[in-house]
A = this chain, B = another copy of it.
C-alpha cells in the first residue's frame, strides 16, 4: 500500500513538514490548505519540492460547508471551489476532500446534498479532480459513513466518492463492518488516526488528542481490514491533530508516524490474508519476545569505577562510588570488571547491574543508559527493530568484545538483546575479567530485575509506548495519572505476556517552570524473595532507604487492618504496601543518586501492579529531599 500523511500532523512550516515526510520514507502527502496558505512556497514550488522528495500529492484538504445550503451560499461555494481547482492544478493534485457541512445554514435534505455534490463533481471533472466526501463525526446532518455513502450513491457521479476516516467512524462507536458493503472503487480515500479513550466531546477530543494508530485505544487495524476487503487500493494516510505533535520536532514525529503505519500493516496483514487487487501489506520480521532482563547498565561519573580506570584514594572512592556501596548494602557482589573498559559487574541471583564509568551520560551523576534483555534470537530482534525504524547500534564497538545486538529506544536508552551464558551464542559476560567471583556470595534475597522505569520527555511518550509495543512485542497496560508535587505524571506499564519483562514508562509533566529542575528520574526495581531480609541488611549496613513519612503508616493502618505486628514491621523498615485483587505488594526505595534510584519489591500471591498508589508519596519525599539539598 502507498503510505501518506497529512501535513497538519506535523509541526513547522510547510517546507519543514515536506522535508520530514520525505525523509521518513512516505510515498505521498495530504496538503492541508492552511499550511499552503501560510507558506511562502508557491503551489508550483510545492509541487516541485514534493516531486524531488518522491512524494505524490494524494489529497488537497479540506473543503468545508458546501452541500445542502440555500442557493446563494451554494453559488459562493462553487465560486470558491473554482479557485481551489485552480490551486490544485498548480499543485498537480487531483483529489479534493469535502467534509460534511457543519454550518447552521445547512438543511437536513439528502436529495439537496446529493445534487450539490453532483454539481461540484461535474465542475471537478472538468479539472480532472475527484471529490472525496467525508462524514465528520460532528457534521450537522451527516455524521455517519453510511449516511454519506447513501448521498454519494444517489449523487451518482464518477468523480464523486467517499473519504473514510477511522477517527470519525470509531469515535462515534459506529460499527465499521458495513464498510464492506461499499464498492472499493467508490472509496476515494482512507484517513487514519487513533485516540486514547477520553471522556469528552468528540470535536474537542479530535482537535487535541488524536494520535497515530497503535498509540490509542481505537481498533484502527480492524477498520482498515474492512476497507481493504472492499478492494480499496488508495493510500493509507495518517491525519492527526495533537497538541503534543504540534510542538514536537517534525523529523521525529514523521518517523514515529511511519513506524505506526508499518506496525499497523502488520496487524492488518495478520487478520486479512490475501488482499484483493494488487495491493500488498508490509510484513516486518516477527517480534522476538524477550524472556527476561540480562542486566541494567548505569552510567556513573569517572571516579566511580576505580577498579578499572584509576587508583583513587579511599576518600575519593567514598565520595565517588555511592552506587557501589549501595549495591553492596543491598547484598550485591562485585563479580567482575570489563576486560578493557571502566565497567564493573555487580550480581545477585539473576540480577546484574553494570556500573559504566566510561560513558558520557554519567558525567553529571549516575544515569540509566542501557538495559539488556534476554532474547531467544538477538539477531532477529535487531532485524525486527530495524524494520520498525529503530536506530541499530554498531554491532562491534571493540574488536575484542563479544558481538552486540542493540538498538536505541526513543529516549536514547540503549536496548541490548542478549543470550547470557547460553552455549549457542557468545555472551556479553565473556567480556568481564576471567577471575569473576561467584555471585553465590550475594546474600540480600534479591533474585532478578522485576522492572525498569523510564521517564520519557513529555513529547515522546506516545512514541516510546509504540516503540516498546511494536519493536519488542510488549503489551500495554492501563494508562495512569499520578499526582506529583509539581504536576500530574502519566504512567503506563508495558510487559511481555508472561510478565518476565516489565517496564514502566512515565512521562514528566511539562516542568521546569520558574527555574525548577526537570526531574526525569529512572529506576531499576529489583525483585526480592525476602524483602524484610533485604531491608534489614540495608539498615544494618547503615544505609537508610527513602524516608517514608510516619503519616503514611498512620493512613495505612486506617485503610488496612494488617495486625499490629505487621504494621510495626512495615513502619520500622519503611516498607510500602499495596494490594490488588490477586495479592499483596511490599516495596521500598533507595535514595536518588544523579538521575537514578533502586526499588526493591516483593510480589505476594501474584500481585500484578507496580505500587502506583504509593508513587505520590515516593515523589513527594524525593522532591522534598531534592529541594532540601538544593535550597
Q: Which A residues lie at the B interface, using CB under 8 A?
A: 11-13, 15-16, 33-34, 36-40, 42-43, 76, 79-80, 83-84, 86-87, 198-201, 203-204, 208, 243, 246-249, 252, 457-459, 483, 485-488, 509-511, 513-514, 547, 549-552, 554-555, 557-559, 561, 616-617, 619-621, 623-624, 627
- Output the nearest chain B residue to A90 by Cβ-Cβ distance: B554
6 residue pairs, one from A and one from B, having the closest CB atoms: A199-B201, A200-B200, A83-B558, A38-B620, A247-B487, A249-B514
Tally of this chain's copies: 2
Asked if residues B511 and A247 are in contact (CB atoms below 8 Å), the reply is: yes
Once A13-B623, A200-B204 are accepted as A-B contacts, the answer to whether A37 and B552 lie under 8 Å apart by CB is yes
18 A-B interface contacts by CB (under 8 A): A11-B485, A13-B485, A13-B624, A16-B485, A16-B627, A33-B555, A37-B555, A38-B616, A38-B621, A39-B551, A40-B547, A83-B557, A84-B558, A200-B204, A246-B486, A246-B488, A246-B509, A459-B514
Asked if residues B621 and A550 are in contact (CB atoms below 8 Å), the reply is: no
Asked if residues A552 and B38 are in contact (CB atoms below 8 Å), the reply is: yes
Asked if residues A247 and B513 are in contact (CB atoms below 8 Å), the reply is: yes
- Output the nearest chain B residue to A15 by Cβ-Cβ distance: B624
Chain B residues, Cβ within 8 Å of A551: 36-39, 42-43, 87
Asked if residues A247 and B557 are in contact (CB atoms below 8 Å), the reply is: no
Once A199-B200, A204-B200, A486-B11 are accepted as A-B contacts, the answer to whether A247 and B509 lie under 8 Å apart by CB is yes
- Output the nearest chain B residue to A617 by Cβ-Cβ distance: B38
CA distance A84 to B87 in the complex (A): 70
- Output the nearest chain B residue to A457 by Cβ-Cβ distance: B513
Residue from B42, B198, B200, B483 in contact with A246 in the complex, judged by beta carbons closer than 8 Å: B483
Chain B residues, Cβ within 8 Å of A249: 513-514
Chain B residues, Cβ within 8 Å of A204: 198-200
How far in angstroms is the closest Cβ of chain B from A278?
37
Chain B residues, Cβ within 8 Å of A619: 38
How far in angstroms is the closest Cβ of chain B from A198?
7
Asked if residues B513 and A459 are in contact (CB atoms below 8 Å), the reply is: yes
CA distance A459 to B619 in the complex (A): 22
CA distance A359 to B526 in the complex (A): 56
How far in angstroms is the closest Cβ of chain B from A323?
25
How far in angstroms is the closest Cβ of chain B from A46?
9
- Output the nearest chain B residue to A36 by Cβ-Cβ distance: B551
Chain B residues, Cβ within 8 Å of A199: 200-201, 203-204
Known: A39-B549, A76-B561. 10 other contacts (CB 8 A): A16-B627, A36-B551, A37-B551, A37-B555, A38-B552, A86-B554, A87-B551, A199-B203, A199-B204, A243-B509
CA distance A43 to B350 in the complex (A): 43
Chain B residues, Cβ within 8 Å of A38: 485, 549, 551-552, 616-617, 619-621
Asked if residues A12 and B547 are in contact (CB atoms below 8 Å), the reply is: no
Chain B residues, Cβ within 8 Å of A549: 37-40
Chain B residues, Cβ within 8 Å of A79: 558, 561
CA distance A621 to B34 in the complex (A): 12
How far in angstroms is the closest Cβ of chain B from A616?
6
- Output the nearest chain B residue to A198 by Cβ-Cβ distance: B204
Chain B residues, Cβ within 8 Å of A39: 549, 551, 620, 624
- Output the nearest chain B residue to A559 by Cβ-Cβ distance: B80
How far in angstroms is the closest Cβ of chain B from A451?
23
- Output the nearest chain B residue to A625 by Cβ-Cβ distance: B40
Chain B residues, Cβ within 8 Å of A247: 486-487, 509-511, 513
- Output the nearest chain B residue to A38 by Cβ-Cβ distance: B620
CA distance A551 to B40 in the complex (A): 8
Asked if residues B487 and A13 are in contact (CB atoms below 8 Å), the reply is: no
CA distance A24 to B87 in the complex (A): 59
Once A200-B201, A511-B247, A514-B248 are accepted as A-B contacts, the answer to whether A13 and B620 lie under 8 Å apart by CB is yes
CA distance A87 to B552 in the complex (A): 12
Chain B residues, Cβ within 8 Å of A80: 558-559
- Output the nearest chain B residue to A248 by Cβ-Cβ distance: B513
CA distance A42 to B12 in the complex (A): 51
CA distance A25 to B627 in the complex (A): 24
